[in-house]
Structure formats: structure tokens, C-alpha cells
Amino acid sequence: MTTITLQQFRGFLIAQGWELIGAPDAFIEIWRHASESGGELLLPTEQAVDKEFMLHGALQKLATLSKAAVSELTQGIRELAENLVSIRVAHPDVQDGSIPLEDGIALNANAKELILAGASAALERRPLYQGRPPALVSELLRNARLGQTTHGSYVIHVFYKGTSQDEESTSFARVATRTLGSALFGLKAAVDEYERTENPISFESALSCGASANLCEAIAKFSGKERTRAVEISLSVDSSDELIQSPRTIVEFPPSQQPCLRIAADYYRQTYTLPDETIIGIVERLDRRAEQDAGVIRVATTLSNGVLRSVSVQLSTDEYRIAIHAHENKQLIQVSGSVVVTPRTANMMEPVGFRVYGNYDLFDS
């Protein structure tokens, strides 16, 4: 009859200022709110045979006193008692509360990927999560449940918490939710920055917040096959045993930012281009064909996003001759251009400004 438990209902009443004023017998409790004129609730105990029926009646009466719909009140109770992640997509084609079947399936499937990304980041920050998740993450996913959808756009709700007997899993569920909120805020700020700069290094700062390729791809897929829907994600953390309810986190990604999320995912998968990059490093390899005078050098360097890579640079005949001497003397070289990075390679496009540093050039003012 109801989708909430007695424990959740009691926690909600306490948070809203209700007090237990009596228990006439082992099967019923009397609750009263000081600000409610004549407002009393009869709540069953766990021993009551008809506790489900009585709990439903108490829920209906509280909805009447609160001037709220039972469904809204039920969601409010669950938001307080469990960790909640709500995913809302907005577009004219979902205003009637329905969604194309294929997109609806993708929405539900990627809700799991979103929770997985946040929970994984709670244990360890990585740009990409692959393979079997750790035990704590797997347990959290097993306990997660889908709530009813909401009309007005298309919204799905995911509730989850640790087992009531296991304080470690309960605490981890809270940490995972807070980490997901941090990752969403960090990613949103990074996407906004990328829109201004068009430099994927903007996404680097979001890594420490918990962002990952998994997170970006899940959000992008929420937008539908055509990538035309706005995506709003809201979270609330289990506050059932806390004095103050945690504020809800809300982050929105409009359709215009869907391409940016794809670029962010590629960046975290080590596939990106750094424009106008200047590298300084040691020539670790020289490569040219016997019939050619020009050639390619490979420079060991640190890119502007802090990543250590060997960057291949195509040089002219004169530049390559200079690079040979720099390699022999272990001198630093400098060159500028756009660097195209993949998981296995890094190549500089249209290099300019090639030069070799002398023994003291780096320290000259």
C-alpha cells in the first residue's frame, strides 16, 4: 500500500517538529505537532497486525494537514530517509510524461552508470572506470531502486542506501551521493569554461571533483538519441538521523552543452587536442628515412595539463640537423603547435618556433 517504512515515517515526523506524546498499548503511537490545531496522528508500531493499513491512513491524514498530495509527501519522506538521485529531461516531446521507448530504456540504463560513476569516484578518483566495480559499489547498486516517474517533463528517481544493519554501507551511500554532487558541479564548471576557451584542459580541474568519462557519457546519453533534451540532475543525501536536512543539489546541462560532454569524455579517455601548446623537453628519439634530410623527433615533455608524454614533431631539414646536436648534447628544445593526443600517441601539428636552449638560456631573464 505504501512505499515507505515506519522508521522512515517516524524520522520525517521528527524532522518536521512532531513529537511522540504517548503509546496506549504495544500496537499504537500518538504523535502531535505543536503548531497543528488538533493535529494528531495515530501511528502503528511494528507489532500491529494491520500496520500497513494504519500507516497508509496516517500518511493520508498528514497529507491533508500539510495540504499536499500523498505522492508528493511520500517522495519528501523518501528524500529525507534515503539518498535520492532524480534525472529530469525536458523537451516538447516529453511534456505529456511519456518518452520514446528507446530513449526511455537508455535513460534507465544510464541512471545506473551515473550512480556507478559517483560511487566509484567516492573510492578513487580516476578519469575512466573499467572492469568489475569494488564490493561497496556493487552493494550500493544492488540496494538501489527506481521510483515512479513524474509528469511535466520526464523524470525518473533512484533511491538507495546501505543496509540498516551495516553502518559502513550506509555511510558509503551518503559519501557516494555527495561525491556525485561534487563531480556534477565540477563538471558543469569545466564545461562552462570550455565553452569560453575551447581548450579541453578546462576539464582537468573537474577530475579532482570526481568527474570521469563514465559520468560524461551517462549524462550525454540522457539527452536522447538526437541529443536535443535538456538534462537536470538533482540529489539529496540521507538525513534521517541528522538534525538538519542536507540541501538538494541541482545541476542542469542544456542541449547546447551535449557536444561539450562528448569532448570531455574523450579528454578523460586521453583523446584530445591541446591548441597553441608550447613544449620544452629532451629529444629522446630521432627518426628519418635514409633518402630524406628532414625527419621526426620525439620529445619527452610535460604537457600543459600536467601529463607526461613523448610528443612527435616533424622538423625541416635545417631544424632536424640542429635537433641531432641537441640530442647528442642532451640539450632542451622548445617548439610550439597544436598537440593531438590519443591513448598511444601524441603528435604536434604545424610546429613553429623550434629552438635549442644553451646551458643557461632557461635561466636568463
All residues at 6 or more sequence positions from 28 whose CB lies less than 8 Å from its CB, including other chains: 42, 43, 44, 45, 48, 54
Of residues 299 and 240, more confidently modeled: 299
Q: Any idea what the Cα angle at residue 364 is, between residues 361 and 365, rounded to 5°?
A: 145
Half-sphere exposure of 349 (CA within 13 A, CB side): 9
Count of residues making up the chain: 365
Q: Is residue 224 pLDDT above 90, yes or no?
A: no
Lowest model confidence (mean pLDDT) among 91-95, 114-118, 297-301? 91-95
pLDDT class for 6, splitting at 50, 70, 90? Answer: confident
Which range scores top for mean pLDDT: 22-36, 56-70, 114-128? 114-128
**Average model confidence (pLDDT) for the chain?**
87
R_g (Cα) of the chain, nearest Å: 29
pLDDT in tens, 274-298: 999 999 999 999 999 888 889 999 9
Query: How confident is the model at residue 243, as a pLDDT?
Result: 45
pLDDT in tens, 201-223: 999 999 999 999 999 999 999 99
Lowest model confidence (mean pLDDT) among 73-82, 96-105, 216-225, 336-345? 73-82
SS3 content of the chain, % helix, strand, coil (to 5): 40, 30, 30
- Distance, CA of 23 to CA of 214 (rounded, Å): 51
Q: Is the dihedral of CA 162, 167, 171, 172 positive or negative?
A: negative
Q: Is residue 164 pLDDT above 60, yes or no?
A: no
- Distance, CA of 17 to CA of 7 (rounded, Å): 16
Q: What is the DSSP string of 21-52?
A: EEEEETTEEEEEETTSTT-EEEEE-TT-TTHH
* Cβ proximity of 204 and 212 under 8 Å: no
- Which strand (E) or helix (H) includes residue 325? helix 317-328
Q: Is residue 170 pLDDT above 70, yes or no?
A: no
Q: Is residue 79 pLDDT above 80, yes or no?
A: no
Lowest model confidence (mean pLDDT) among 20-29, 37-46, 338-347? 37-46
Q: Is residue 365 pLDDT above 50, yes or no?
A: no
Percent of the chain with pLDDT strictly greater than 70: 88
Query: How confident is the model at residue 362, as a pLDDT?
Result: 46
Query: How confident is the model at residue 163, as a pLDDT?
Result: 60
Which range scores top for mean pLDDT: 124-128, 223-227, 244-248? 124-128
pLDDT in tens, 260-270: 999 999 999 99
- Distance, CA of 211 to CA of 260 (rounded, Å): 14
Query: How confident is the model at residue 152, as a pLDDT?
Result: 59
- Distance, CA of 142 to CA of 162 (rounded, Å): 10
- The neighbouring-strand residues paired with 18 are 33
Of residues 191 and 31, more confidently modeled: 191
C-alpha 357: how far from its chain's center?
A: 44
pLDDT in tens, 306-357: 999 999 999 999 999 999 999 999 999 999 999 999 999 999 999 999 999 8
Query: How confident is the model at residue 239, as a pLDDT?
Result: 67
Of 149, 10, 19, which is closest to residue 86 (Cα–Cα)? 149
- Distance, CA of 58 to CA of 113 (rounded, Å): 37
Query: How confident is the model at residue 167, as a pLDDT?
Result: 60
Q: Is residue 15 pLDDT above 80, yes or no?
A: no
